[in-house]
Structure 1
Amino acid sequence: MTWPAMMQHRRTGALLRDDRGNAAIEAAIVVPVLIVLVLLFIAGARLSLAGQKTDAAAQAAARAASLERTPGEGQDAAQQAAEQALSGEQQACSSINVSADTSGLAVPVGQISAITVTVACRVPVGDLMLIGGGPGVRTVTSTFTSVVDAYRGRS
């Protein structure tokens, strides 16, 4: 091999081993993955917070319903308590559904009974997806049962 051919071969090999531009390629691969991980973390935090608040709302609604004297008043009290517990500026719920079994208020005085309230909270997560809108909403549901005082007067 001649001297100029050897120099040309060395230059070509040096160009192939040159690592200029690797940072841009690595960033193009890593940054989207990091963005997706951050968005998944935010969605998980939003669902976790909604679950905790839904648990608290179900507990408050069941307790409020168990203090009433009639099933109708119990339904109203459960609805109001759940809405009050879930109202707030930083609440993740887009809509709330409260279902209360207040038949325990219809039993005669002296018998043990209970009130069961189920609260469903729809949490929007579609706004976190970059392309295509994502899955839309997830529903977080919580149920709580509160014992009715057996000797409390009822109408």
Structure 2
Amino acid sequence: MQLNAKLRELFPLVGVLSPAATINVERFSTVVDMGAHIQALAVVALGDMAAETIDAKLYACDSDGNNAVALTGNSATQLAAHASNNDNKQIVLNVRSDDLLASGKRYVKLGVVTGGASGGSVAAVILAQPRMGNAATVDLSSVVQLVG
């Protein structure tokens, strides 16, 4: 790891869960190829949430996101339903490529769901530590600017 490198050069943006209302139907991020990364970090940002449980977990999956299997040890503890305790909070999940070995898969995605039909706004970004190369070469194609 280069000591003088910029963080954006070390940890590319490889996955995203676009901001949207999240209710009792699980929403999923884009799929991340862990064959190209040593580890990934998903940061979930909760908005003004209803008094409903909230679950966030990482899944091993196929390249198209299908055949998903929840990764043991890579799920957040369910947040209890509360009128305000979960508002504007974050959930951080880490996954190493080795965590996928038992599943026999090399791709991962993030899933977020609430326990009711009111929910709230949820978004997430997934950053990764690439196995090799400059992070700018592996950022999502939806990244429109790299500044600094």
Q: Could you say which structure has the higher helix fraction?
A: 1
TM interval, shorter chain, is under 0.3
So what's the TM-score if we normalise by structure 2? 0.27
So what's the TM-score if we normalise by structure 1? 0.26
Q: Larger relative CO (CA 8 A, sep 6+): 1 or 2?
A: 2
Q: Could you say which structure has the higher strand fraction?
A: 2
